[in-house]
Amino acid sequence: MNAPAVTHQLTDVVVGGTPLRPDDVVAVARYGARVRIDPAGLTRIAEARALVDALADDPEPHYGISTGFGALATTFIAPERRMQLQESLIRSHAAGTGPEVEREVVRALQLLRLQTLATGHTGVRPVVVETYAAMLNAGITPIVREFGSLGCSGDLAPLSHVALAAMGEGDVRVADGDVVAASEALAAAGIAPLVLREKEGLALINGTDGMLGMLLLAAYDLSVLLQTADVAAAMSIESQLGTDAVFAADLMALRPQTGQAASAANLRAFLGDSPMVASHKGPECTRVQDAYSLRCAPQVHGAARDTLDHALLIASRELAAAVDNPVITDDGRVESNGNFHGAPIAYVLDFLAIAVADVASISERRTDRALDPARSHGLPPFLAHEVGVDSGLMIAQYAAAGIVSELKRLAVPASVDSIPSSAMQEDHVSMGWAAARKLRRSIDGLGRVLAIEVLTGARAIDLRAPLQAGPATGAVHDLVRTVAGGPGPDRFLSPEIEAVTALVASGAIASAASAAVTKDNA
């Protein structure tokens, strides 16, 4: 599922200066923004490299510079074999298997590894940083396979496939999407293949860049989907003749949760000035309380918002990090460390998967209520045109239910698992890459479940005529009608679900509601 299209002019993203922002990563990874290296960063890189060169001449062994790796860290490597050592590391670790990883994910991990290299804490030469930047700007995307990272010692296999391409080996996709040999793509772009020296192979692969990149992309998408969830809930509440009184600001203040307040404010705005809501506010209405899936929408959506904020806090700290082992410290020491362990990222990836599953779950329950004449307060069964002959949206709800069931399975945390590797040297790993992969599937599923709720809400609004929807929900209804027809005899439904899903994913649904509120308040 793709997030909203960027409508403003993309500006260059500078690495090697201040830490990247989440939007910078999305701009480069998804929308092709160019990268530039801060000149001050190049100076730091050269200074750190001078320290590595000095240690390379030291007869005492130094990990990653004059020794083997992992369980072979005590093996001294003679100077004449060290170039081979670095190249062998990359070739052997480029062992990914399975489906090809999405282009935006690979570009994100390329950029994030470039950022760490540009900090001057990894000891690579300036040419390494310049090569990675040139590959991004040329649209050269190494082919990375889905399986191979345990989320500790870095995303080793994915990053190795990128490093292999920088060496002119393996396959890549070029800007037009074709698969070509890396050597051919580099030559066409005027980029010389890297010849790695001491420490550089290790520095290129010892990072958590893949899982962090996927976290940032997921957070960007989820922020749109949570806004859309509020829109979808408003359509359900309105068309099922629910009340907006429970979303009052003073009621929300009794439980001062930030996300809940934001979601409730959205619901008040999206339901404001709705003739449909106003039609049953009088004393003749005997309903005391709406069902939980309607009444508690801000509590669930708000908790997801707070979870997303926490994940972005962790991501912001990671964006300020220099993850490598060993690292060059500010005072010139070369020190081993464990900062490559992906636990901080893995935990929030799993946390978000839980929130995504629950937001989808409450959305599906609202959809189901609209289709059940015992609970929909006057709507026809399954919103069908001719009950008994037509099935209406019956199976659309099946699709939503099937996705929600899958999302519940994907909410099982990956980060609680660990399989020892490297002859027990790496005896506890984060599985953060796996957590990120399943979150991407979860985000896609949530968008589809919300699309089915929006499609259902739009049809239910039509069936309430002559009652009219409010400005915000009415604007969304009208947008849906540009890609999906209104009530009538059964027709091929899948294309309409896909078309509304595209509107959800693009951010168009959320934007239509927000624009209508802004216009109404102008």
Q: Which amino acid is at 79?
A: P
**3-state SS class at 178:** coil
216-248 per-position pLDDT tens digit = 999 999 999 999 999 999 999 999 999 999 999
Q: What share of the chain is helix, strand, coil (3-state, %, to 5)?
A: 55, 5, 35
Q: Which of the four pLDDT bands, split at 50, 70 and 90, describes residue 9?
A: low
Average pLDDT over the chain, rounded to an integer: 93
Neighbours of 318 (CB within 10 A): 22
Q: How far apart are CA 266 and CA 260, in angstroms?
A: 10
Q: How far apart are CA 419 and CA 248, in angstroms?
A: 49
Neighbours of 478 (CB within 10 A): 13
What number is the average pLDDT over the span 406-425? 89
The per-residue pLDDT for 419 is: 82
The yes-or-no verdict on residue 65 having pLDDT over 80 is: no
Let me know if 347 is a catalytic residue. no
Choose among 371, 396, 397: nearest CA to 382. Answer: 371
What number is the average pLDDT over the span 282-306? 89
Choose among 248, 201, 213: nearest CA to 91. Answer: 201
What is the phi/psi pair of residue 171, to 5°? -115, 155
The yes-or-no verdict on residue 8 having pLDDT over 60 is: no
Q: Which of the four pLDDT bands, split at 50, 70 and 90, describes residue 457?
A: very high
The per-residue pLDDT for 6 is: 44
What number is the average pLDDT over the span 21-43? 96
Asked if 259 contacts 301 with a C-beta cutoff of 8 angstroms, the reply is: yes
Domains defined along the chain, listed by start: 13-207 (1.10.275.10), 215-327+353-423+437-521 (1.20.200.10)
- Beta-bridge mates of residue 387: 390
The per-residue pLDDT for 3 is: 45
The per-residue pLDDT for 73 is: 65
> Which range, 80-89, 151-160, 352-361, 417-426, is most confident?
352-361
The per-residue pLDDT for 285 is: 67
**3-state SS class at 195:** coil
Choose among 140, 266, 255: nearest CA to 191. Answer: 140
On the CB side of 207, CA atoms within 13 Å amount to: 32
Q: Which amino acid is at 1?
A: M
The catalytic position among 31, 63, 132, 398 is 63
**3-state SS class at 46:** helix
Q: How far apart are CA 207 and CA 153, in angstroms?
A: 7
What number is the average pLDDT over the span 48-56? 88
Neighbours of 176 (CB within 10 A): 7
